[in-house]
Amino acid sequence: MSYPDIPRNSLSDWRQLAHGMWPSKPTFKEDRYPSLEGKVVIVTGGNTGLGYETVKSLAGSTKARIYIFSRNKEKTLNAIDDLKLEVQKEYSVKNREIGFVQVDLSDLTSIKPAVEEFLKKEDRLDIIIHNAGVMMPPQGSKSKQGYEIQIGTNVLGHHLLQRLLDPIFIKTSETNPKGLSRIVWLSSTYHMFAPRGGIFWEDINFEKVPKFNNLTKTQLYGQSKAANLIQARTWSRKHDYPNVISSSICPGYLNTDLQRHASALERYVYQYVLWPKRMGAYTELYAALSPDVKDGDHSISFGTPAKGREDLLSDEVGDKVWTWLDKETDPYV
């Protein structure tokens, strides 16, 4: 078994990688957000890190009904209490309601019950931000169904969640103004290190590579983020609902809980070279709310248009990934 084929990055790819270190300042901020009164927004993983900052900004500056989809009930309810206090302090908005639905995206059996619970609470869905994720966990980490944990959580978990939410999301989009209904898929500039075509099909879990090292860890994470970028581009082509904008983002090089598996030395360095997680919320909400974002776009920190790696952009690649994702999630629909 060989190593995956990683395409050589172009000059524009390297510029995009460098942009994460020296990004443009955000220009689409809270003073430009729409009111979203009567609208419903889901943020996965909104109880911590980047998702927490995104929920806080939405709660303080819009009137949307917001739901956090996350795994840990106690941690999320505590986070919601903290969010309410911070929203009141930073935005002078009192008693802001934020909903919670429990789901474990690394366990496909938990997703349908979570969607059923959500549907008992709401009859519409306007925006979903697929924010939750795992980055470079210990070698051999697996999802409940035995997938490598990053592709199991970041990709398959969100694919199934979106499939199950599609009926209410599409129904809502049909009565919304064009471009209001949105799906934001959290990719990463690390997709530049993914195998050619996004997925290492002969060994998706990277279990047979001759030597597992820091480079292969990067490629494995990049694989999941390339798949997220492909999902964003492929959703609209598979559904053909012109009112919807499905796009991907790299939120930025951020100091968040995603680095919890890093070494102590790496975490020490990160606090000096990475950006505050609050900045990444501007990227997420640029993709979720800005009139400048179009269907299939890819945005990078902190609200800058960009483009995915060239070999990931074809319909053929999108179809192959989508077919596999549908097949793997079919038993749980």
Q: Where are the domains of the chain?
A: 11-332
Give the active site residue among 225, 246, 247, 248.
225
Q: Which of 271, 245, 252 is nearest to 189 (CA)?
A: 252
Question: 42: helix, coil or strand?
Answer: strand
Q: How confident is the model at residue 212 (pLDDT cuts 50, 70, 90)?
A: confident
For the segment 222-266, what is each residue's pLDDT rounded down to a tens digit? 999 999 999 999 999 999 999 999 999 999 998 766 545 555 655
Round the average pLDDT of the chain to a whole number and report it: 94
User: Span 11-332: which CATH code?
Assistant: 3.40.50.720
Confirm whether 221 is a catalytic residue. Answer: yes
Average pLDDT for residues 28-36, to the nearest whole number? 97
Confirm whether 61 is a catalytic residue. Answer: no
Q: Give the model's pLDDT for residue 266.
A: 54
Give the active site residue among 221, 253, 282, 286.
221
Q: Is the pLDDT of residue 1 over 70?
A: no
Q: How confident is the model at residue 37 (pLDDT cuts 50, 70, 90)?
A: very high
Q: Is the pLDDT of residue 132 over 90?
A: yes
- CB of 250 within 8 A of CB of 306? yes
Q: Which of 23, 16, 318 is nearest to 189 (CA)?
A: 16
Q: How confident is the model at residue 26 (pLDDT cuts 50, 70, 90)?
A: very high
C-alpha distances in Å from residue 259, one per residue of 200, 255, 271, 277, 297 = 24, 7, 11, 12, 27
Q: What is the percent of the chain where pLDDT is above 70? A: 94
Confirm whether 106 is a catalytic residue. Answer: no
CA separation for the pair 246, 295 (Å, rounded) = 5
First to last CA, the chain: 34
For the segment 257-287, what is each residue's pLDDT rounded down to a tens digit? 654 555 565 554 455 458 899 999 999 999 9
Give the active site residue among 57, 187, 188, 224.
187
For the segment 60-109, what is each residue's pLDDT rounded down to a tens digit? 999 999 999 999 999 999 999 999 999 999 999 999 999 999 999 999 99
Q: Give the model's pLDDT for residue 211.
A: 85
For the segment 291-331, what is each residue's pLDDT rounded down to a tens digit? 999 999 999 999 999 999 999 999 999 999 999 999 999 99
- CB of 308 within 8 A of CB of 228? no
Q: Give the model's pLDDT for residue 263.
A: 57
